[in-house]
Amino acid sequence: MNPYIALLLMVLLNTLGQLLVKRGAVRIESRLGRVQLIRSMINWPLALGGLSVIAGPLLYMYALTKVELSVGYSFSGLTYLMVILGGHILLKERITLYHVIGTLSILAGLTVWNL
């Protein structure tokens, strides 16, 4: 497997894990008292969160067999970015100018880092 694909997969898993934990937390809060709903909702975020915790580092270590550490670590910025953007798309939060400029800066940073 191409190490960059492994890194992108790791980013995807980590993003999904973090987003689902965020979303799961939000849902559980708003339905306190309805025990059955909480039980059914605990599976989703825990499953993907657990997967990202277990598979994420594995993908990372695999990628590090072929790329430099500094190259691998730069992808963590991508995780942060996707969690923010994903949160905005899924949870319909608003985006400000700072978000846009910050995103461009992060992407520029990633590109420049890996040139």
Partner 1 sequence: MKSKEVKSEAQGPSERPDKRPYKKNTVAILLLLSYLCLTAGQVSAKLAGMVLSSKQVISGIPSPQLALAFAFGTYFFFLLRGLLWVFLLRKLKLVLAYPLMSIGYILVLAVSFLFFKEPLTVGKMAGALLLMTGVSLVSYGEVQQKKADEKSNEKGSEKGSLL
Q: If binding is defined by CB under 8 A, does position 93 make contact with partner 1?
A: yes
Query: What residues from 20 to 59 belong to the interface with partner 1 (CB under 8 A)?
Result: 53, 56-58
DSSP letter, residue 67: S
Binds partner 1 by CB under 8 A, chosen from 9, 77, 82, 86: 77
Q: If binding is defined by CB under 8 A, does position 98 make contact with partner 1?
A: yes
- State the distance between the two ends of the chain, measured CA to CA, in whole angstroms: 21
| Residue number with CB closer to partner 1 (44 or 103) | 103
Q: If binding is defined by CB under 8 A, does position 6 make contact with partner 1?
A: no
Write down the least CB distance from residue 55 to partner 1, Å: 11
Write down the least CB distance from residue 108 to partner 1, Å: 5
> CB burial class (10 A; 0-12, 13-18, 19+) of residue 77?
middle
Residue 91's alpha-carbon distances to 9, 28, 49, 82, 103, in angstroms, are 22, 15, 18, 13, 18
Site residues, partner 1 (CB under 8 A): 53, 56-58, 60-66, 68-70, 72-74, 76-77, 80-81, 84, 93-99, 101-115
